[in-house]
Each structure stands twice: as structure tokens, then as C-alpha cells.
Structure 1
Amino acid sequence: MESSSSMQVTIIVVTFNRSGYLSRLLDTISAMTDPPSRVIVVDNASTDDTSEVVRDSSLPASVLRYERLEKNTGGAGGFSSGMAFALEEGADWIWIMDDDVEVIPDALTRLKPWTEKYKCLHGRREEADGRPYFWQHRMNVSLGVPRPTTADPFSAGNFAVANVGCFEGMLIHSDVVNRIGLPDPRFFITWDDTVYGWLASQYTEVGYVNEMVLRRARPLKTVGLANHQVNTANDLFRFHLMRNRAYLAKYFARYGSLNRGQFAVGTALTFAKELYRCLFAERSLKGVPALLAGFWAGRKIHADRAWRPMPPIHSESCQDKL
């Protein structure tokens, strides 16, 4: 592998109708002290002035590539397309992020030394108000639900081992992408990065490192409840959260990791958590029909015997550990 000082990084940004946030993100990328070799903006058929924002960016034309998709494919489809574009260009390292974050100026300087240990890693992010955010980097595979982060995962050291992924900051080597394939666009939104990181963990150790590299630019609407913050959601999220658990189960089954009984308990817990969100964060049960619709759509996916996972890009030795 190339040394961390000479490695080339391609940033992929997926955007949809948030040109204001995208403009801020591109400004922070252009101000990086250790800049990426390439930036690919994937536009999910925005109807605002996204194309003008990209055109007016201060990033050099030789660095910035803009791809507008014909329809909105969700975050999953956008990242799948973006990673395909990056591989076409021969990218080695691919750094993935949403449009509503900002990059800390020395982010890549902080991350690059860790690439000598990990081929898939995540740095840290702070909230829009400056509070540190601790990602739920471990999943209970039997239940198919994230383990709550109840303490600072870096209290005992500067890194932790993850078994899931997050597309708000995943840095991944093309070797891993070639083995596990592109992100599955069928997810549209939610669970897609969880599954992708889990797939990566089947071949290589996935790292979560104590390096602050991103800042969320868009404040989340939250409601305080005891010692927790509960985010509000929308019906699009609720539907896909429940439906896509079927895709999660399909991938687990592919790798011999599905316990159907325990996974069903995890699905019930996920439904209960969303009811909790509706009742306490949104003070309404209007989101219940979307949850039920997603659940029944998932049942159809469970029953689809023709369903297949995303294939590896290079199949030779795809079972080898990296």
C-alpha cells in the first residue's frame, strides 16, 4: 500500500435539493490543508440551484466532477453511483459524505496515519452546536439492531473496532469495494451504510478513530427525554427503516449470520422504538401507517426467492481477508 503521505483520496458527496449546505461543504473542502485528489458530486436530480453552486465552486475544474442523475435514487443509489464513478477513474481511497456536513481543515492529515492500520475507517463528527457525537459503531448481529453508545468509546484508547458503517464519513479502500461490491441502491435510504460496513467487516477490520474530521452543518430537530435526545423523523424514513430490515436479513443470511427468531425480536424492538419516537418526539401517531407499510413491504422481500445481493466487482479471491 502507498504511504499515508502520498495516498490519493477521492471524496464523494451525494446531494439532493440542499444547495446551501452543499455550497458550505465545497468551501470547506477547498480550504483543506491536505486536499483530496478528486471530488465527485452526485446530484440526485435536484430541482434547486445545485448545478450553479457546483459550477461556481472554488474547487479547480481538474479536481471537481459533477454528475446529475436522472432521478432521485436516495442516498444508497447516490453513493453506489458515486463509488462506481470513482472506481472508473482508478480511485484508491474513497471518502464518503452527505451534503450537510463540513470538513475540518486538517481532516485528511488526521486520518491518513490510520490507513496503515485500517482499510475501512471512520473519524469522528461534532454536532452543529459543537457537541461531540458518538456514533453507534457496534451492532448486535443476532437482533440486527445497533448497540446503544452509553459511554465514550475512546476512554481506553484512540480507536475502537466497528462492525457497521456510516456514509457520513466512511473512508474505504478500493480493494474492499472490489470484494464486497457497490452499496446496494435498493435500500434507497437507511440501513444501507450499516450493511455496507458490516460487509466490509467480513473481510477487514473496520476502525472508528478518535479524530474529529467532520462537523454537522444542519441542526437536527430533537426533543429531550430524560438523559436522551430523540430526533424527529418523516414517513419516508419510517417506511424504509422497516422495509429495509428485510434487505438486512437477506445479507445476513448470505453470510450465514441470520438467526430468524432473534432477528424478528430485533424488528419488534425497532418498531417499538419508532412508536416511542412518534409518541414522545412528535406527539402524534400519524407515522404508524408508514411503519406498517414498510413492515409489509419487507415481508414481500423476505419471500422473494429470486433476490440476490450486490455482486463483488472483482470476484477472484473475494473470500480472502484483506
Structure 2
Amino acid sequence: MTSQPVVVAVVVTYNRRELLQTTLAGIASGTRVPDAVVVVDNASTDGTAEFLRDYQGPVTTDVVTLNTNVGGAGGFVVGMERALLDHGAHHVWIMDDDTEPQPNALREALDVSLAYQQETGQAPAFIASRVVWTDGRDHPMNRMRPRMGASEEARSTAARLGATQIRSASFVSVLIRADEIREHGLPIADYFIWNDDLEFTARVSRRGTALTTNASVANHHTKVFGDAGADPGPRFYYEVRNKIWVYTRSNALAPWEKVLFTGASLRNWTRTIAASPNRKVLLAGLFKGLRHSLRAPRSNAQVLDGVYALRNVQEPVR
């Protein structure tokens, strides 16, 4: 690696042109900007394609326009592979189109990654930004809990650098080492939305180190302040199906973690359904998700067939 690692940002967008503008402006205004930005347009119909065609930012922008919406999961598979193969990324900085990285977000993440490697001799798998809502409060949808079972030495080392060891993170400003993607594979495209980030980040951090630092901040421009249980409507189907896939079809979590996470999910689903004015919709999503979770996720090549030709299919290490 060179003294200045190559960083490629990957942004996945679908029908949120105005929010995408904010995301790209946030990236471009950073005290450290990436060497390139890969924008994956999931077949938007709101003028996003026209905006991207005319967009001229200060960072090299590589636009990939898909002919079908393959969700955030499929979009990140495409964008991350592009970042590695076409742009020679050492780090891939990923985010949704409702993310607004603050000026020091990338620089601080890189600084913490380098400092941790210098102190321990081990490069962290990824660095996640602190995620806040539009009013500056920590966003409950992106809350990262300290890693259970981390040693006192590991916790102290991270704390000295202004960081915390974590187990997983959402795809809202996460800086991932390219070598981790090569070793553990890409996300799983068949998740479409929700929990693809949980599965991927938990997979790469299971035997490695993952950190979050408050010095790196990103705003998450969701419509409401809440987590995935804030009356998700028909999308509850993906929450149920994908969580069960994580617990039964992936090696991302240790057996004891699967037990704890399953119990927490059952409790959260019960609360979500009980509090919803659309219980019929959520119950339909619950039973459909349970039914469809019985089959394994399709391979990335199958999901993206006819949409995007993967040139180096890095299937997840299961």
C-alpha cells in the first residue's frame, strides 16, 4: 500500500435525487475526500439518472445505472466490486443516499484505523462513523453496541484512540478494508433491503476487530426518528426473512450470539406488531417472511443475472 491509501466511496441510490445531492455534497466537502465515488443507481425514475449524467463534482464519479432495482443489498454488491476492480481501492467507504457525511468523517475514520494498526499491529476490519439524526441526536436505527466479550485490554486500547469495539454496523458511513471484502466476500444481494449490513459487518468482524469513533460523524436523513420497529409496513417482511437468514444461513454470528439475537428479535417483533395500527399488514409480512426464510438466499450471480455482470464473483464465505 502507498502512504496515502486509495479510498473509494460507494453510494447506492433509488428515487431520492435531492437526498443524493446532499450525500455527494457531503462527500465533496470533506477535509479528506475519497479518490473516487461509485454511485449505483437502482433504476431510479425521479430524474436521478439525468442529475448524475450532468453532475460535475470535485471527485471522480463513476455512475453505474442498473436496469432493475436490486435493493440496497444488490447495489452495494455492484458498487463494492466496482471499487475494488476498477479503482484499486484499499478502503471502501459505503453509505446510502440518505447519508450526509460531516466534514471530518472520512479523515477521522482513516486516522483511527491507522492509529489502531500502529498500536496493535492489526488493521481493523472496518471503522463506523457515529450516526446522528438531523437534529444531532444519536440515531436509534444505527445504534452500535460495544462488543460483548471484548477483553479489558482490547477495550482500553480502543478507548485510548477515542473508539469503541463493536460487532456490527449499518451501511451509513462505514470504512471497510478492501482485504476484508476479498477474504470474506461481498454482501448478499438477495437480502434486497435490511439486515444485509448486519450480516456483512458481523461476518467480517467475527474474528477481527471493528471500531466506531465519535470523531467521525454522519447524518442519517430518515423521515422519522426511530429504529426499524417504527411501523415498517410491508417492509416488515424483509426484517423477518432476512433476520432468520442471518441466524440460520450465515456464519456471521457465533452460536451463542444467534441465541441472544433471536430472543431479542422475537421480543422486538412482538412489540412492533402490538404497537402498530397496521397489525394485519405486519402479520402478513411476518408469516410470509417465515415461509420464505425456509429457502436459502440465491447467489449474487443469480440475483444480478441480466442486471449486472459480476466479473469476479466473490460470494460470501458462509
| TM-score between the two structures when normalised by the length of structure 2 | 0.79
Matched ranges for 1:1-322 at <5 A: 2-3=2-3, 6-60=4-58, 63-89=60-86, 90-116=88-114, 117=116, 118-133=124-139, 135-138=142-145, 158-220=162-224, 231-235=230-234, 237-252=235-250, 257=255, 265-278=263-276, 282=277, 284-298=279-293, 300-301=294-295, 313=314
Question: Structure 1 pair 87/269, CA: closer, same or farther in 2 (3 Å)?
Answer: same
Unaligned runs of 5+ in 2: 117-123, 149-157, 302-311
Question: Higher helix fraction: Structure 1 or Structure 2?
Answer: 2
Equivalent pairs counted in the alignment come to 289
Percentage of identical aligned residues: 26
Contact residue 221 and residue 232 of structure 1 kept, 8 A: no
SS of 2:215's partner is strand
Amino acid at match of 2:176: I
The CA deviation at 1:296 is 1.7
Given residue 233 of structure 1, which amino acid in structure 2 is its aligned partner?
P
The one-character-per-residue Cα deviations of 1:47-78 (angstroms, maximum 9, x if unpaired) are: 11001221232314x71010011211111111
Aligned partners of 2:99 and 2:218 also within 8 Å = yes
- Distance 1:130-1:267 versus aligned 2 partners, 3 A rule: closer
Letter in 2 for 1:14: V
In 1, distance between residues paired with 2:105 and 2:181? 22
State whether residues 172 and 220 of structure 2, in contact with CA within 8 Å, keep that contact through their aligned partners in structure 1: no
CA RMSD in angstroms, aligned pairs only: 3.4
**Uncovered stretches (5+) of structure 1, i.e. residues with no partner:** 142-153, 223-227
Structure 1 window deviating more from structure 2 (116-125 vs 42-51): it is 116-125
1:15 Cα deviation from its structure 2 partner: 0.4
Q: 1: distance between equivalents of 2:5 and 2:48?
A: 30
1:30–1:58: 8 Å Cα contact kept in structure 2? no
Corresponding position of 2:153: none
Distance in 2 between residues matched to 1:77 and 1:109, nearest whole Å: 27
- Give the Å deviation of 1:2: 4.4
Per-residue Cα deviation, 1:164-208 (whole angstroms, up to 9, x for no partner) = 131111110111000110000011111110011111112420111
For the Cα contact (< 8 Å) 2:10–2:92, is it kept in 1? yes
1:290 Cα deviation after fit: 1.3
Give secondary structure in 2 for the equivalent of 1:169. Answer: strand
How far residue 245 of structure 1 moved from its aligned partner, in angstroms, is 2.3
Q: Contact (CA 8 Å) 1:94, 1:172: kept in 2 or not?
A: yes
- Deviation per residue, 1:17-61 (Å, 9 max, x gap): 00111112112222222211000000111111001221232314x
TM-score (norm: length of structure 1): 0.78
The question of whether the paired residues in 2 share the 8 Å contact of 1:26 and 1:57 is answered with no
- Provide the C-alpha distance between the structure 2 equivalents of 1:307 and 1:73, rounded to a whole number of angstroms: 13
1:221–1:172 distance in 2 versus 1, CA, 3 Å: closer
Give the letter aligned to residue 194 of structure 1: L
Q: What is the alpha-carbon distance in structure 2 between the residues aligned to residue 244 and residue 178 of structure 1?
A: 23
Amino acid across the alignment from 2:133: E
Q: What does the per-residue CA deviation read over 1:286-305, in whole Å, with 9 as the maximum and x for residues that have no partner?
A: 3221122112211x22xx5x
User: Aligned partners of 1:285 and 1:191: how far apart in 2?
Assistant: 23
Higher mean C-alpha deviation, range 73-82 or range 262-271: 262-271
